[in-house]
Amino acid sequence: MSAKIIDGKAFAAKVRGQVAEHVARLKKENGITPGLAVVLVGEDPASEVYVRSKGKATVEAGMNSYEHKLPAETSEAELLALIDKLNNDPNVHGILVQLPLPKHLNSDLVINSLDPAKDVDGFHISNVGLLGTGQKSMVPCTPLGSLMMLRDHLGSLSGLDAVVVGRSNIVGKPMAQLLLGDSCTVTIAHSRTKDLAGVCRKADILVAAVGRPEMIPGDWVKPDATVIDVGINRIERDGKTKLVGDVQFESAAKVAGAITPVPGGVGPMTIACLLANTVTACCRANGLAEPEGLTA
Ligand SMILES: NC(=O)C1=CN([C@@H]2O[C@H](COP(=O)(O)OP(=O)(O)OC[C@H]3O[C@@H](n4cnc5c(N)ncnc54)[C@H](OP(=O)(O)O)[C@@H]3O)[C@@H](O)[C@H]2O)C=CC1
Ligand SMILES: Nc1nc(=O)c2c([nH]1)NC[C@@H]1CN(c3ccc(C(=O)N[C@@H](CCC(=O)O)C(=O)O)cc3)C=[N+]21
């Protein structure tokens, strides 16, 4: 058997097209241009690449992009002052603070100082609580993009056994909430899980969000399962740098029913969902109808 490769890049292009259409309508009919502010503190090269591609995608969708690059030694008070300014700027509908922040900054405090309505990452405690209680919220981009691909491939997820490997606040936990919301039976596995291989083998839906290159081999995958590989790991192989996921793609693709590749899977969907969340936030802020099919 050979898995269907879920093309995240193509799916993301479709979502971005829908976002661009909605943006064009907002401009024409309401005279509003959605705006996304991205805040980057320090000089992490990988983060700079992400921030640049987010800015480019934002502009391509017809929205305004505001980039704020602050030096690594920025104080908490300075960062909070910038966030306060963005919270009160009517041209800014979404704010993303790139993580991780330098160690001297308390990221929980910083994230919770965002206006929850502008928190397009969905990391603010109030969005986390709304998602956990099934209320309208801002949904974290990576889990939202993963859910869209799962629904597209499987149709209904109801009653399926889902295993999420990883329990971070930004991927694992919100992913589990979304799967529960779609009536999966959800298991969250982590570094203390006993018999991880056995747990994974029961999964109809296996989401890997660990951050360990190719940790999950094909023989942990249930035949015909749908595998979502969230991991983005840069490794050296044959003298070249290469991007790999948390799943051993070759061996898993022989067993799974469908699998997302790295690159070209979850990553592009994350950016597309960030744009979608910005449009959603803009519509909510202006009391306008939200784009359909772009929220959870
Ligand atoms: N595609 C995309 O758009 C995005 C990709 N990512 C990628 O996803 C991956 C995960 O990111 P993130 O959630 O932020 O990572 P974190 O480091 O915050 O969390 C990793 C999780 O994996 C668990 N874990 C670590 N080692 C093992 C192990 N040996 N067995 C089982 N579980 C283990 C940890 O368990 P414990 O809690 O017990 O320590 C933890 O819950 C990374 O590769 C990251 O780059 C992240 C965000 C977006
Ligand atoms: N506040 C915050 N929100 C985030 O959403 C956030 C963050 N901080 N910090 C870092 C992680 C990581 N992340 C990615 C986004 C896109 C790709 C992506 O598009 N990847 C391409 C490859 C890109 C490449 O070649 O490097 C792909 O998988 O095909 C990857 C990773 C968002 N994150």
| Residue 102 belongs to some domain of the structure | no
Task: Give the pLDDT of residue 255.
Answer: 98
Q: How far is CA 72 from CA 78, 100, 147, in A?
A: 12, 12, 34
Q: How far is CA 225 from CA 19, 143, 202, in A?
A: 30, 18, 9
Say how many Å lie between the CA of residue 214 and the centre of ligand 1.
Answer: 12
Q: How far apart are CA 251 and CA 17, in angstroms?
A: 34
CA-closest residue to ligand 1 atom 29: 191
CATH number at residue 262: 3.40.50.720
Q: How far apart are CA 189 and CA 29, in angstroms?
A: 47
Q: What is the pLDDT of residues 27-84, one digit of tens each?
A: 999 999 999 999 999 998 888 888 999 999 999 999 999 999 999 999 999 999 999 9
Please work out whether the CB of residue 12 comes within 6 Å of at least one atom of ligand 1.
no
Please work out whether the CB of residue 268 comes within 6 Å of at least one atom of ligand 2.
yes
| Residue 24 belongs to some domain of the structure | no
| Residue 263 belongs to some domain of the structure | yes
Ligand 1 nearest-atom number relative to CA 171: 13
ipTM surpassing 0.90: yes
- 172 marked as binding residue: no
Say how many Å lie between the CA of residue 229 and the centre of ligand 1.
Answer: 11
What is the model's pTM? 0.98
Range of the domain at 243: 141-268
Domain count for the chain: 1
| Residue 132 belongs to some domain of the structure | no
Please work out whether the CB of residue 53 comes within 6 Å of at least one atom of ligand 1.
no
Mean pLDDT of 163-175: 98
H-only helix segments in 88-140 = 107-112, 125-132
Q: Inform me whether the pLDDT recorded for 97 exceeds 90.
A: yes
Here the tokens at position 291 are 């784009």
Which residues 6+ apart lie within 8 Å of 39 measured at CB? 68, 70, 79, 82, 83, 86, 95, 96, 97, 98
Task: Give the pLDDT of residue 294.
Answer: 93
| Nearest by Cα to 59 from 15, 114, 16 | 16
